[in-house]
Structure 1
Amino acid sequence: MKAKFIFITGGVVSSLGKGITAASIGLLLKSRGVKVVNQKFDPYLNIDPGTMNPYQHGEVFVTVDGGETDLDLGHYERFTDVPLHRFNNTTAGKVYLSILDRERSGGYQGNTVQVIPHVTDEIKSRILKTGEETGADVVITEVGGTVGDIESLPFIEAIRQIKYTVGKDNCIFIHLGLLPYLKECGELKTKPMQHSVKELLGFGIQPDIIMCRSEKPLTKSIREKLGLFCNVGQNAIIENLSAKSIYEVPLMLENEGLGKTLCSLLDLPNSEPDLADWKEMVRRYYHPEKEITIALVGKYVELHDAYLSVAEALTAGGIHHSARVKIDWIDSERITDLDKAEELLGKAAGIIVPGGFGDRGTAGMMVAARYARENKVPYFGICLGMQIAVIEFARNVLSLADANSSEFNQQTPHPVIDLMPDQQGVKLGGTLRLGEFRCVLAEGSKAEKAYRLHDIVERHRHRYEFNNLYRDSFEQSEMALTGRNPERNLVEIVELPAHPWFVGVQFHPEFASRPNKPHPLFRDFVGAAVEKSAKAKA
């Protein structure tokens, strides 16, 4: 069967949750036995978000093949548990770069290159390629931005044309818009949605489903008005209320009949959805038996989306242990010494230091790692957090004065974290280790006990590595090097065996965590924090 296509557009205002909606649709169809894949089109001109400021864009989600992509792909994976690839995120920058490279190499044989047909054809080819390469029954595409944005117009035109390429029975359009509630008159207002749909109609697209983001339930009269003015049936007007948890959204949409409507419009078998596991996960989330606090010490904490996957992985670990994880977001620059660490971290049941680039805030992270090590507080270092733990240990236990990463200080006498010889002199993008790499675990290590495997694969996004010139010094100390990449003999995991739970990993396990299937390391880290909290209360 050739792939069918669902396109999701947004209207009225931004930040309505198209990503969560797209992810929820993927889950509802997959629960019916339909093979799905999600993709995202972003209208900005950056090639990818890899070099974008986290404060502007939030987290960079890394795919299995090393693609640096939009954070919505993380939502797609967490909801559908379908691994994504770099081609699942297309930016306007990628589209124009491909066209200009082709033009410079003579691919257009001297013809004038135009938005139509060349830009739209490039976009369409990427849509169709996703269906062909994945073998999916349904490709779910989220179009970034808001209908009417100038930069989104080529994407809107491309998806309009797709309907005539694949046939109207194999393509549907979903428009997500806001129904504002005015307290003064106590009413939901449909006019903004009507105008948004009218604008979409002006571009030649009639939405098949209208999804209404609102704070209040839709009344019968509201549904009738929307159906009349937006040219859709009553069963195609879907209420999308605000939820306490994003993980409840697919269940709410299923109760609204979205799954049944999608199957009807796409001529798919409407079998009974298997959502039992998801429902149980949501129940456990809403009814925790205990609460713990995890201190997240980072440099981008003002924007929580910068650590989105880490936060969701902690939540998943909490669900597994029937615990609500309260994250205390701590700017690492505030931790100036051990006394300040005691003040800011003293009530935490666990400390996590996530990834990042640059030396800003690293001094405070090192104090946090030292505090966790000396006070037996469960510690989880991810990427930069692992390197911080290594540097702190080298300075304060191995007595390697001024040990550092050459990323932070190129003149350090002890670069315990450094570029590998084959990375020297290569530009930044060429030295990043991106995507999945193997890691062999030491027998009896905390990592091996967590994974219950000896050989694993995890996703990476970093440039600097543990310096093997210092390997002997660490192996003769209390810090164990328990994970190794066999292809390049790189240290991937460090642990303190005598500590209740102190683990640093060079990779990013948060990308592989799922709300109903937490990553083993996050599961055990939260478990150690729960145990510490229980002992403190005893």
Structure 2
Amino acid sequence: MNKQKLSSQSKFIFFTGGVISSVGKGLTAASIGRLLKERGFSVSVQKLDPYLNVDPGTMSPYQHGEVFVLDDGAETDLDLGHYERFIDIRLHKESNLTSGQIYAEVIAKERRGDYLGGTIQVIPHITDEIKKRILLVAEKSQAEFVLVEVGGTVGDIESQPFLESLRQLRQELGRENTFFVHATWLPHIGATDELKSKPTQHSVRELRSIGISPNMIIARSDYPVHQSIVDKISQFCDVDSEAVIPLVTAPVLYSVPLILEDFHVADYIVKYFGLKARKQVDLSEWKRIIKAEEKPKHNIRIALVGKYIELHDAYISVREALKHASLNNDAQLEICWIHSGDLEKGDGLENLANCDGILVPGGFGYRGVEGKIIAARYAREHKIPYLGLCLGMQMMVIELARTILNDPKANSTEFDPQTTAPVIDLMLEQRHITDMGGTMRLGLYPCKLTPGSIAQRAYQADLVEERHRHRYELNNDYRDILEQNGMLFSGQSPDGMLVEIAEMKDHPFMLGSQFHPEFLSRPNRPHPLFNEFVKVVIAEQEKAGSTVKTA
């Protein structure tokens, strides 16, 4: 590729990981992105995932955690949630690139004859496509900094084409426009009570063997890192001592940007590129968040009823949105993770009773559904604040329908195609779709709110836009009877054809949304529905004359 053609106004920061996976590259990238934004620079981010799936949309949450949905409907890696929450930006489909997307595009071009009969190889065809997609983020966003995270660990076979592409980009764009951050892990040896830097040295050697030398090393650890370890890593890995950053596991997730700021990470990067900060750094909002967590006025316990609770990352945006709202209301949050399958067996009701609020998140498939319906019934009958997200809204609708119709078979056709009372049914436009990936109602859609409703009170607006990910909707044939029995459809599509929000009239807070509000929550700006939910939880708790419920 022509170097001049590749040149752009963007500076590229590439993030790689070593020693072990899940070392915190995504959080590091998100935190550095925030610090650069605080200095007045525009930032965009991209995640490179080595798996052959086109996107994580069809993957089990047990395999990959949460699927994070963007405005344009792209189903992406959960790290994009970190990027959006920390940097407070809205990303697009170009921000998540997988090996599956790359190979599908290259094979499609080969089938069309675009390569004029040539032999298709990883180099240059796959690597050229990867570079093209990375540069596309810079072109579309016009961001001054483009942060690119490579999933997995250096040494993985799957990551090699991505790393080779980054090596080529450094050569083609010039070292003055590229910067490599390598995140590693410092293992602790209990017998000798010491941290070991040798795995980091090996990891950097592996990286250098493919032609990449890191400019900065983030040394993650569960224990304090002595300066001698920093100096050793600097010496053996040929990285400036001030660019070896010991990042000890933080008790509060949102303190990571503050920790990196104390080590002048962004200043080092800005200076490397020959730039100067555009404005005075102001992290007072972040410090307020940390202070709120350290000195809460209230203690609240929220039951999160799901079927993937063994892996908390399956509900990471929900968890963080609850934290945002709790911090905003000066509350210490405790999440009680309840498996919906246990409720079906008659276990866990005592946990619901000991919680101040109940949240039922989204999901797919029949397993655990009846337990979620039990949770919705418990919230309705005991007047416990309830927030239902996507499937969680459908559960509260099915539960009420079963009660008023006196029909235990009222259901969704997703779970019982032969139900005699299909209160939840497949959307009309979904009925002839056979492919599973990327075919749901995805992305940003408008929602018109009913004046005087809880939803309208929470949003303080008449029209909002929210992100969706679903195939099934409330069957309009049942609207009237549900409304006659206390349910208010307080949010609808502008044409009135699709119910977006349902709430109970005679309840402190029982509200469900067909969309996923958790995707738009921010640490310093909690989502209105989560914020109102937590506010009511605290109010009901105080009305009952207690500060916290105990088991």
Tell me the residue number matched to 2:478: 470
Aligned partners of 1:439 and 1:457 also within 8 Å = yes
Tell me the residue number matched to 1:116: 123
Q: 1:216 to 1:430 in 2, by over 3 A?
A: closer
Instruction: Map 1:96-107 onto structure 2 (within 5 A).
Output: 96-107=103-114
| Higher mean C-alpha displacement, 176-185 vs 21-30 | 176-185
Q: SS of 1:370's equivalent?
A: helix
| Letter paired with 2:306 | G
User: In structure 1, which of residues 532, 535, 538 is the aligned counterpart of residue 540 of structure 2?
Assistant: 532
| Letter paired with 1:390 | V
Aligned equivalents of 2:17, 2:427: Cα separation in 1: 45
1:298-325 CA-partner distances (Å, limit 9, x unpaired) = 1111111111100000011100111011
Tell me the residue number matched to 2:221: 214
Tell me the residue number matched to 1:225: 232
Aligned equivalents of 1:340, 1:446: Cα separation in 2: 32
Query: Percentage identity across aligned positions?
Result: 52
| Higher mean C-alpha displacement, 416-425 vs 258-267 | 416-425
| Higher mean C-alpha displacement, 300-309 vs 340-349 | 340-349
Q: Following TM superposition, by how much is the alpha carbon of 1:219 offset from its aligned partner in structure 2, in angstroms? A: 2.6
Aligned equivalents of 2:368, 2:394: Cα separation in 1: 13
| Higher mean C-alpha displacement, 61-70 vs 480-489 | 480-489
Aligned partners of 1:510 and 1:519 also within 8 Å = yes
Structure 2 residue runs without a partner (length 5+): 1-7, 547-551
Is the counterpart of residue 81 in structure 1 residue 80 in structure 2?
Answer: no
Q: 1:131 to 1:381 in 2, by over 3 A?
A: same
Tell me the residue number matched to 2:3: none
Q: Following TM superposition, by how much is the alpha carbon of 1:431 offset from its aligned partner in structure 2, in angstroms? A: 4.7
Tell me the residue number matched to 1:265: 272
Q: Following TM superposition, by how much is the alpha carbon of 1:498 offset from its aligned partner in structure 2, in angstroms? A: 1.4
Is the counterpart of residue 417 in structure 1 residue 445 in structure 2?
Answer: no
| Letter paired with 1:22 | A
Aligned partners of 1:474 and 1:481 also within 8 Å = no
Tell me the residue number matched to 1:8: 15
Aligned equivalents of 1:185, 1:344: Cα separation in 2: 42
| Letter paired with 2:223 | K
| Higher mean C-alpha displacement, 119-128 vs 342-351 | 342-351
Q: 1:512 to 1:247 in 2, by over 3 A?
A: same
Aligned partners of 2:230 and 2:246 also within 8 Å = no
Tell me the residue number matched to 1:504: 512
Aligned equivalents of 1:62, 1:372: Cα separation in 2: 28
Q: SS of 1:329's equivalent?
A: strand
Tell me the residue number matched to 1:353: 360
Q: What TM-score results when the alignment is normalised by the length of structure 2?
A: 0.95
Aligned equivalents of 2:481, 2:135: Cα separation in 1: 54
| Letter paired with 1:489 | M
Instruction: Map 1:9-88 onto structure 2 (within 5 A).
Output: 9-88=16-95
Aligned partners of 1:67 and 1:434 also within 8 Å = yes
Q: SS of 1:40's equivalent?
A: strand
User: In structure 1, which of residues 302, 306, 311 is the aligned counterpart of residue 319 of structure 2?
Assistant: 311
Is the counterpart of residue 143 in structure 1 residue 154 in structure 2?
Answer: no
Is the counterpart of residue 201 in structure 1 residue 208 in structure 2?
Answer: yes
| Letter paired with 1:440 | K
Aligned equivalents of 1:253, 1:85: Cα separation in 2: 27
| Higher mean C-alpha displacement, 279-288 vs 142-151 | 279-288
Q: Following TM superposition, by how much is the alpha carbon of 1:266 offset from its aligned partner in structure 2, in angstroms? A: 1.8
Tell me the residue number matched to 1:334: 342
| Higher mean C-alpha displacement, 112-121 vs 416-425 | 416-425
Q: Following TM superposition, by how much is the alpha carbon of 1:184 offset from its aligned partner in structure 2, in angstroms? A: 2.5
Aligned equivalents of 1:518, 1:358: Cα separation in 2: 29
| Letter paired with 1:467 | N
Instruction: Map 1:84-483 onto structure 2 (within 5 A).
Output: 84-270=91-277, 271-336=279-344, 342-427=349-434, 428-429=436-437, 431-483=439-491
Aligned partners of 2:184 and 2:218 also within 8 Å = yes
Aligned partners of 1:292 and 1:324 also within 8 Å = yes
1:128-187 CA-partner distances (Å, limit 9, x unpaired) = 000010110000011001001111000000001111222211100011111222232232
Q: Following TM superposition, by how much is the alpha carbon of 1:236 offset from its aligned partner in structure 2, in angstroms? A: 1.0
Q: 1:167 to 1:488 in 2, by over 3 A?
A: farther
Q: SS of 2:148's equivalent?
A: strand
1:67-123 CA-partner distances (Å, limit 9, x unpaired) = 111101101111011011111011111110110011111111111111111111011
Aligned equivalents of 1:423, 1:302: Cα separation in 2: 31
| Letter paired with 1:86 | K
Aligned equivalents of 1:316, 1:104: Cα separation in 2: 49
1:253-303 CA-partner distances (Å, limit 9, x unpaired) = 110110111111122213532211111111112221221110011111111
Aligned partners of 1:437 and 1:458 also within 8 Å = yes
| Higher mean C-alpha displacement, 211-220 vs 472-481 | 211-220
| Letter paired with 2:149 | E
| Higher mean C-alpha displacement, 504-513 vs 470-479 | 470-479
Q: SS of 1:152's equivalent?
A: helix
Aligned partners of 1:341 and 1:367 also within 8 Å = no
Aligned equivalents of 2:437, 2:103: Cα separation in 1: 20
1:465-488 CA-partner distances (Å, limit 9, x unpaired) = 111111222232210111111247
Aligned-residue Cα RMSD (Å) equals 1.4
Q: SS of 2:256's equivalent?
A: helix
Q: Following TM superposition, by how much is the alpha carbon of 1:430 offset from its aligned partner in structure 2, in angstroms? A: 6.5
Aligned equivalents of 1:101, 1:341: Cα separation in 2: 51
Q: Following TM superposition, by how much is the alpha carbon of 1:335 offset from its aligned partner in structure 2, in angstroms? A: 1.2
Tell me the residue number matched to 2:523: 515
Aligned equivalents of 1:443, 1:329: Cα separation in 2: 34
Aligned equivalents of 1:411, 1:33: Cα separation in 2: 58
Q: SS of 2:344's equivalent?
A: coil
Q: Following TM superposition, by how much is the alpha carbon of 1:188 offset from its aligned partner in structure 2, in angstroms? A: 2.0
| Letter paired with 2:478 | Y
| Letter paired with 1:459 | R
Q: What TM-score results when the alignment is normalised by the length of structure 1?
A: 0.97
Q: 1:216 to 1:420 in 2, by over 3 A?
A: closer
1:23-54 CA-partner distances (Å, limit 9, x unpaired) = 10111101111100111001111111000011
Aligned equivalents of 1:171, 1:341: Cα separation in 2: 53
Q: 1:341 to 1:15 in 2, by over 3 A?
A: closer
| Letter paired with 2:336 | D
1:427-473 CA-partner distances (Å, limit 9, x unpaired) = 24475100000000001110000000000000000110111111222
Aligned partners of 2:336 and 2:351 also within 8 Å = no
Q: SS of 1:221's equivalent?
A: helix
| Higher mean C-alpha displacement, 265-274 vs 226-235 | 265-274
Q: 1:265 to 1:335 in 2, by over 3 A?
A: same
| Higher mean C-alpha displacement, 181-190 vs 372-381 | 181-190
Aligned equivalents of 1:250, 1:478: Cα separation in 2: 46
Work out the number of aligned pairs and report it: 537
Aligned equivalents of 2:152, 2:192: Cα separation in 1: 30
| Letter paired with 1:301 | I
